[in-house]
Structure 1
Amino acid sequence: MSEFQKGLVWLRRDLRCTDNATLAHALATCAEVYAVFVFDTTILDALPRDDRRVAFIHDSVRELATSLADAGGVLIVRHGDPTEAIPALAKSLGVQAVFAGRDYEPAAVARDRSVARSLDDLGIAFEVVKDQVIFEASEILTAQGEPYSVFTPYRRAWLKQVRPVDLAPHGRQSDWQHLAVPPEGKQALPSLASMGFEVSDARRMAIPTGESGARQLLDDFLPRMAHYHERRDYPAVRGPSYLSVHLRFGTISIRTLAREAHAAMLRGGDAGSGAQTWLSELIWREFYFMILHHHPGVVASAFKPAYDAIEWATGNAADADFQAWCEGRTGYPLVDAAMRQIHQTGYMHNRLRMVTASFLVKDFGIDWRRGEAYFARALNDFDLAANNGGWQWAASTGCDAQPYFRIFNPVTQSEKFDPQGRFIRKYVPELANLPDKALHAPWRADPQTLRDAGVTLGRDYPPPRVAHDVARKETLARYAVVKTPAASDKGDHAADAE
């Protein structure tokens, strides 16, 4: 017997029918289930009118609507403030419960509390369901019952605790009969233009969208997963899965990906090392979600409070450096190529996210929060937890155990991870004719080499805005005034330190 006669599923970061924990829970507990997606104006109104992410969401919602229709239901679509739209819709449909996937971002938590209060006033239950992660909140704690603050022991605990049931897909085919059609019937999907957006084909993401697009990318990646640990750090190589934006908007479930990785890791053999490394990246994602959940203050402040005392570079010179960093004009080819990539495509390779973040904070001495905010605007796969965690990791203000003297050298990183300069030549074409040896630090090239390549520093490409060895010393002095206890874990990226 159903617990509720009518329920409403509020789809948000779970734009799929397959293995959707929230939808599955509603279908299993309600005789009739409606589904809704809200184009949230409290988020959309602040975005540029050609934001790629809105186009991705729009395409994915369209596919979701088709999938629900094929299953006998209808996707209700609203454009407005969900704190008003959801209670109003729930009341009009006469539902007894609203279901949503649990979110961990402070603004989303506040939004859900507001919705819950309004629904409670109407006598309607509000149930949140775990869907974005395998383990959440207090499901993985230290022996002392505290949340982990260092990744490696968290990963060990995660791997020790995970069981096949944690990775199993949600939903039964027999439950789809509970999908209901609202009184107004089929819903029209508002166009991008009607919502004030115009995203040209050139501005759209260069990956397939929707649940089918996620499956396509996963199928492409699975044969390559065995070599992930060998190829993932090279931006000119097809090493990553490119599924991060799909995870962000839930067009594929974390259980699907973790299940594939975990199974391959357990099989061992040639595929085991790549699968283990990829699974670790998925666990990093969960770790940052839990850091945000237990320490929401990291949104505005350092995870290690002592580091909020650092005096960052400010003023006109710092502003000019920041602008040069944003535009890919620092004079360091790998940094500039990465920044031009994110500007042109909305994507940045993970290795380069670390390199560019380290450069802004530890070469220019600029507050990590400025870079974090820029990535939040520019990244297709922007996720608050991961973005904040990554920036605080690079700035040594976060939960990573490595001390502040981990400073990436942009030249040695370039020589190691783009040795033939394939990535640099793609995004910094003015340097394309330089030989490999000169490409990573063109200011060190002899004048004849530059002339032969048609490069004049200061005209075709800028000289370095900062000397790395000098900046490194300044960073060590800037951080040295802050005294924090050293942790025992060396972290996964200790080899990247100078």
Structure 2
Amino acid sequence: MTAAPTLLWFRQDLRLTDNPALTAAVAAGRPLIPVFVLDDADAGHWATGGAARWWLHHSLEALAEAMGTRGGSLVLRRGPASEVIGRLVEETGAAAVFWNRRYEPWATRRDAEIKADLKRRGVEARSFNSALLCEPWQIETRTGGPYKVFTPFWKALRAAVETATPTPPPERLPTPARMPTGDALADWALTPRGPDWAGGLRAAWLPGENAALRRLDGFLDEAVLDYARKRDLPAEPATSRLSPHLHFGELGPRQAWHAALSRHEPGRTDKFLSELAWREFAHHLLHHFPDLPDRPLRPEFAGFPWVDDPQGLRAWQQGRTGYPIVDAGLRELWQTGWMHNRVRMIVASFLIKDLLIPWQAGEAWFWDTLVDADLANNAASWQWVAGCGADAAPFFRVFNPSLQGVKFDPDGAYVRRWVPELARLPAAAIHSPWAARPLDLADAGIRLGRDYPGPIVDHAAARDRALAAFKALRKD
């Protein structure tokens, strides 16, 4: 008699290496039915954004191909996960459903309901942690509450992390005699058509587990040793660019952590490990404060006098603010689905403090345009810049975009790449073209207002306006 199968429900764990749910499902000894469910409804307004949908399509292709080389196949179904999983259990007679946990508030509520329903049916339901170094509820302060400051969280996390060797992928995937039918990936229309805006994404990225492992190896071979010194320089290839691979689970953080520690002497990779810890901190915050994506963690900011400025928002989105480092970042984002982390802080500060546009507007734009759009990281980062989150930069710290450009892109290489109309300006003028000598503008073939916009706000006046708004908020 054939054993009843196990459903292996893939989500943001699109890999075969060091995948706890997969390892446990294979060890259970039953035939395996891997399934991915595209569930747009449960996430509400945080349904997967456009750039991330492009990545998901190609990541699923890579996962299905990897399964095929091990004798398995991936079933694709679309609809509310609670209904789809229930129907699959009925169709297949599955004795168990295994999955790796997600940590968005809507996902944790839904997963609890699914687990309870499966248990009522007499079906084994088991979930695992593949996405984080530690569970977000595992790290607590001495009083048993959540951390709101990164440094003590980082110390506690480092003490708690287990550095076990990642588990290898299974050599073969045991499959039942008959697999359930599924959707064709192309029918999900995750990739853009008419127009196809993803050319820059295709040029910049290769999704999938193998690509993630190659990127990790390349980063740890060279760039990680200069990471602390160069990570704030957007023109330098000094960052890992692992964020989309981590978000979709093509690479697990335990793999990155273990590889960094095993390949280099103690202390050489601490800065990189601390950035993995910031990702953990964001998920820790989201778990304990599930309104983080929509409401300020500091409640007094709910009354902040934001400005309704659709023209300013549009100029910011299009990279037409007249501030070159800001525009370069937003054009990099639009073309590649990614933005250098230092530049993310600069463009966020400009939107929030120079334009007084709510941080939620920037968060929503990043959500739709980033290939690494992650609910916890995105929300925590925007609140950090706005000064209303945990361990946040104070609101009165207002980045001067021109000085930030001079400091972190001194030769203008980053601006020249993404704002090519300014490429012929000398380095001394490239971050403040409105202050350039007329001769330099003429030699560069630039007429401000025609070839490149003048600043949409005066930074000094905008800073004064922002600080006055913050001062008024503190008096209320």
Structure 1 length as normaliser, TM-score?
0.88
Q: State the match for 2:280 in structure 1.
A: 286
C-alpha contact (below 8 Å) 2:383/2:392 kept by paired residues: no
Q: Report how many aligned residue pairs link the two structures.
A: 468
Q: CA RMSD in A?
A: 2.5
Q: 1:202 — aligned with what? A: 199
Note if 1:373 corresponds to 2:390. Answer: no
Alignment deviations for residues 108-164 of structure 1 (CA, whole Å, 9 cap, x no partner):
223323433443443323322111101113211111111111111100111222232
**Secondary structure at the residue paired with 1:192?**
helix
Q: Distance in 2 between matches of 1:327 and 1:177?
A: 48
Match of 2:125 in 1: 126
Matched, 1:180 2:180: no
Residue 464 of structure 1, CA deviation: 0.9
Q: Residue 301 of structure 2 aligns with which residue?
A: 307
Hey, what's the Cα distance between the residues in 2 that align with 1:125 and 1:52?
Answer: 35
Cα distance between partner residues in 1 of 2:298 and 2:242? 31
Q: More deviation in 20-29 or 192-201? A: 192-201
Change (3 A) 1:117 1:248: same
| Aligned residue in 2 for 1:430 | 421
| Farther off after superposition, 422-431 or 396-405 | 396-405
| Cα distance, 1:401–1:379 mapped onto 2, change above 3 Å | closer
Given that 2:296 and 2:302 are in contact with CA atoms closer than 8 Å, whether structure 1 keeps it comes out as yes
Match of 1:25 in 2: 24
Match of 1:190 among 184, 188, 197: 184
Measured after TM superposition, the shift of residue 29 of structure 1 is: 3.4
Equivalent residues in 2 for 1:257-276 (5 A)?
Answer: 257-263=256-262, 267-268=265-266, 272-273=267-268, 275-276=269-270
Q: Indicate the SS of the match to 1:104.
A: coil
| Residue of structure 2 equivalent to 1:256 | 255
Residue 99 of structure 1: aligned partner: 98
Name 1:212's counterpart in structure 2.
210
The code of the aligned residue for 2:156 comes to: A
For normalisation by structure 2, the TM-score amounts to 0.92
* Counterpart-to-counterpart distance in 2, 1:309 and 1:132: 35
Structure-2 change in CA distance of 1:254 and 1:177 (3 Å): same
Deviation at 1:196, TM superposition (A): 6.8
SS at match of 2:5: strand
Kindly state the Cα deviation for residue 207 of structure 1 after the two structures are TM-superposed.
Answer: 1.6
Q: For the residues of structure 1 that align with 2:200 and 2:451, how far apart are their CA atoms?
A: 27
Residue 43 of structure 1 deviates from its aligned partner by 7.6
Deviations 1:210-255 (A, max 9, x none): 1111112112111221111112111111111111111111111111
Report the Cα offset of residue 343 of structure 1: 1.2
- Structure-2 residue corresponding to 1:72: 71
Aligned twin of 1:389: 380
C-alpha spacing 1:454/1:159, structure 2 compared with 1 (3 Å): same
> Is the contact made by 1:289 and 1:386 (CA closer than 8 Å) also made in structure 2?
yes
Structure 1 unaligned residues grouped into runs of 5+: 485-498
Measured at CA, do residues 43 and 329 of structure 1 come closer, stay the same or move farther in structure 2, by a change above 3 Å? farther
Mapped to 2, the partners of 1:260 and 1:98 lie a distance apart of 31
Q: Distance in 1 between matches of 2:83 and 2:49?
A: 26
CA distance in 2, matches of 1:110, 1:138: 15
Which deviates further from its counterpart, 176-185 or 15-24?
A: 176-185
* Residues 428-478 of structure 1 deviation map (CA, whole Å, 9 limit, x = unaligned): 111111111010001111222212211111111111111112211221221
1:9-61 CA-partner distances (Å, limit 9, x unpaired): 10010111111011112223353332111233438998999944333222222
Whole-Å Cα distance in 1 between the matches of residues 296 and 153 of structure 2?
20
CA distance in 1, matches of 2:442, 2:179: 70
**Which residues in structure 2 correspond to 1:6-85 (within 5 Å)?**
6-42=5-41, 51-85=50-84
Write the distance in 1 (CA, Å) between the matches of 2:80 and 2:387: 37
Are the counterparts in 2 of residues 19 and 169 from structure 1 also a CA contact under 8 Å? yes
Residues 270-419 of structure 1 correspond to what in structure 2 (within 5 A)?
272-273=267-268, 275-314=269-308, 318-419=309-410
**1:405-446 C-alpha deviation (Å, 9 max, x unpaired):** 221110111001111111111111111111110100011112
Unaligned runs of 5+ in 2: none
Match of 1:190, as an amino acid? Answer: A
Runs (4 or more) in structure 1 with deviation over 6 Å come to: 43-50
Q: 1:31 touches 1:178 (CA, 8 Å); kept in 2?
A: no
Which of 408, 411, 422 is equivalent to 1:420? 411
Identity among equivalent pairs (%): 38
The answer as to whether partners of 1:30 and 1:178 remain within 8 angstroms in 2 is: no
Q: Secondary structure at the match of 2:138?
A: coil
Match of 1:458 in 2: 449
